[in-house]
Amino acid sequence: MAEAPRMPDECGVPEMDAYLHPVMKKNYGAWSWHDRPRPGVLHHVAKGGDEIWTVRAGTQRQMDVYTIRKLMDIADEFAEGFVRFTIRSNIEFMVSTEAQVNPLIEKLNAEGFPVGGTGNSVSMISHTQGWLHCDIPATDASGAVKSLMDELIGEYTKEEMPNRVRLTTSCCQINCGGQGDIAINIQHIKPPRIDHDQVANVCERPTVVARCPVAAIRPAMVNGKASLEIDEKKCICCGACFPPCPPMQINDSEHSNFAIWVGGKNSNARSKPTFHKLVASGIPNNPPRWPEVAAVVKKILSTYKEDAKDWERIGEWAERIGWPRFFEKTGLPFTKYHIDNWRGARANLNASTHIRF
Ligand code: SF4
Ligand code: SF4
């Protein structure tokens, strides 16, 4: 008898209940108040009187199995065996007595994991996959993050910024990193170079044509082979054609650089959510430590720390003093690339409601 076919094993995201600390499970939705006894520690008190302390530590995100085991051993020995990761790759340990907090912090520090990232600190950077996990990156977001946080560790372990500072990075212009007070994103500045020999073998041409947001790609015959051509006047160098068709070579050591954007915010607190704005571009993509990126980010952060009023986010500060003053104070050059005068969206963008993948 033929064996039954193997069925896909897809369970989706597991129910979280099994992984919640028992105090959190018991008091789910019944918390009364919370405070932060020190940077990196949250203290929650439930309506019924139960208390829980959460200790937050920074990780390098791309972790080998030995580092993960080390963190789990710390959780078992010092923290009642429960952890969770935040979206910014911080690890949080939960304990139900205050007496466990200091030994846990000492152990984490001794093992090289800084405790902090809460309140008005520079928390870990939410970032994209980089070379290890994605197939289209122009840089290694995770590496840039590790290098940058090595330099910003003093602002991670203290809460001395005017308000919280949330950074993001993205390793291509599709930007799955999202909005941030400071966003550090790769920016391509030239259209893709097409490897015509490969297109017919590798790409589904209609898919590639449909991907382009400004309809700049057309099918074409090149040297007798089915290929594609790009209207370079229309191309906005977004890189969206590269994932479905790697022969659309957009990554380039000279023309794929870092750009830094400022003033993005997801929350509704104090002011509306905002999009970030370009403040620096053409910064070299310079692994393994990306020192030029760090220099610009540190300059923006130190100016913000010195100049902003209490509780102003970076975008709110820039809006209050005005963007010309922002460039003056940070010393970043204002160039023609900062002027967004593109008015072609209505005529050029693929605005159809049909999804064509
Ligand atoms: S930002 Fe781009 S390259 Fe980086 S993980 Fe996201 S899609 Fe991949
Ligand atoms: S998808 Fe983006 S990079 Fe590719 S041709 Fe269109 S605009 Fe240019």
| Tens-place pLDDT, residues 107-154 | 999 999 999 999 999 999 998 888 888 888 999 998 999 999 999 999
176 CA from centroid of ligand 1 (Å): 6
Q: Which residue do the tokens 């054609």 mark?
A: 241
DSSP code of 147?
H
**pLDDT value at position 111?**
97
How many other C-beta atoms are found inside a 10 Å radius of the C-beta of residue 348? 16
80-101: average pLDDT: 96
How many distinct helices (H) and strands (E) make up the chain? Answer: 10, 13
Question: What is the distance between the alpha carbons of residues 121 and 13, in angstroms, rounded to a whole number?
Answer: 31
Q: Tell me: the pLDDT tens digits for 297-324?
A: 999 999 999 999 999 999 999 999 999 9
Place of tokens 């959190």: 24
| Mean model confidence pLDDT for the chain | 92
Residue nearest to atom 6 of ligand 1 (CA): 176
Global pTM reads 0.89
- pLDDT band at residue 357, thresholds of 50, 70 and 90? very low
Tell me: the pLDDT tens digits for 160-216? Answer: 999 999 999 999 888 787 789 999 999 999 999 999 999 989 999 999 999 998 889
* Closest ligand by atom to 214 CA: 2
Q: Both ends of the chain: CA-CA distance in Å?
A: 40
Indicate which residue's Cα is closest to atom 7 of ligand 2. Answer: 235
Mean pLDDT for 36-58 is: 98
Q: Is 6 left (phi over 0), alpha (psi -120 to 50) or beta?
A: beta
| Ligand 2 atom nearest 211 alpha carbon | 1
* 256-262/277-283 β-pairing: antiparallel
Q: Which residue has the higher pLDDT, 18 or 339?
A: 18
State the distance from the centre of ligand 2 to the C-alpha of 255, rounded, in angstroms: 15
Contact 203, 299 (CB under 8 A): no
Instruction: Assess whether pLDDT exceeds 80 at residue 2.
Output: no
Give the C-alpha separation, 300 to 280, whole Å: 11
Give the distance (Å) from ligand 1 centre to CA of residue 175. Answer: 6
What is the distance in A from the centroid of ligand 1 to the CA of 74? 32
